[in-house]
Amino acid sequence: MKGHSDYINIEGAIGAGKTSLAKILAERLNARLILEETEANPFLPDFYKDRKRYAFQTQLFFLLSRHRQQQGLFAADLFHPKTISDYLFDKDRIFASVNLDEREFYLYEKLLSILGKELPQPDLVIYLQASSEILLKRIKKCGRPYEKNMDSDYVKALNEAFNHYFFHYAKTPLLVVNTDQIDLLHDKKNQSDLLTLIQTPFSGTKYYVPIGGE
């Protein structure tokens, strides 16, 4: 990859605003947009009704879907040299660690070790951080039918797993954005500030706490 921001992954727990921000940045950077195929997972509605029963099927579908997307990620695109995705492939393991039992997780990791080889690494990961309370508020506001009765304990466990993962993350440059007090979808000032940070190369982890309020 030639530039610090040629391939950007945006991450965060459910309700963090990954897809919305990915669409905004793709438009402003004239980048190719890669979105997670969440709605295509046929097991997802059943998973939210009975997580224990449908976790393994749901997880495998997401893993295989993400792997297929990643394999074809860098086909020639002369009109969009930059690429933005609303997920990081490695994060799949975060959900698996929360949702699968010990035997299922063992099988999952065996498959992941095979599929994860030689996939492209991002130049930059943006982690949208938020409190569990804010995530729940946004999930309800979003209004997806299968998420409307989401268990608050599950959202908290998932959020803690994401925070733990990115606290120790060191594979690529990482920009951590605190989104508790802002609406990046509509706040043009913070969007511009974020674009400036993205286009300024750095190493390690950088934190951005935007000024604003919802």
3-state SS class at 203 = coil
- pTM comes to 0.89
| Higher-scoring residue by pLDDT: 117, 106 | 106
Active site residues: 86
List domains and CATH numbers for the chain. 7-208 (3.40.50.300)
Arithmetic mean of pLDDT over the chain = 87
Segment 171-180 shows an average pLDDT of: 93
The answer to whether 177 and 127 have CB atoms below 8 angstroms apart is: yes
49 vs 54: CA distance, rounded Å: 9
| Higher-scoring residue by pLDDT: 41, 140 | 41
Please count the CA atoms within 13 angstroms of the CA of 99 that sit on its side-chain side: 24
The answer to whether 136 and 152 have CB atoms below 8 angstroms apart is: yes
166 vs 54: CA distance, rounded Å: 27
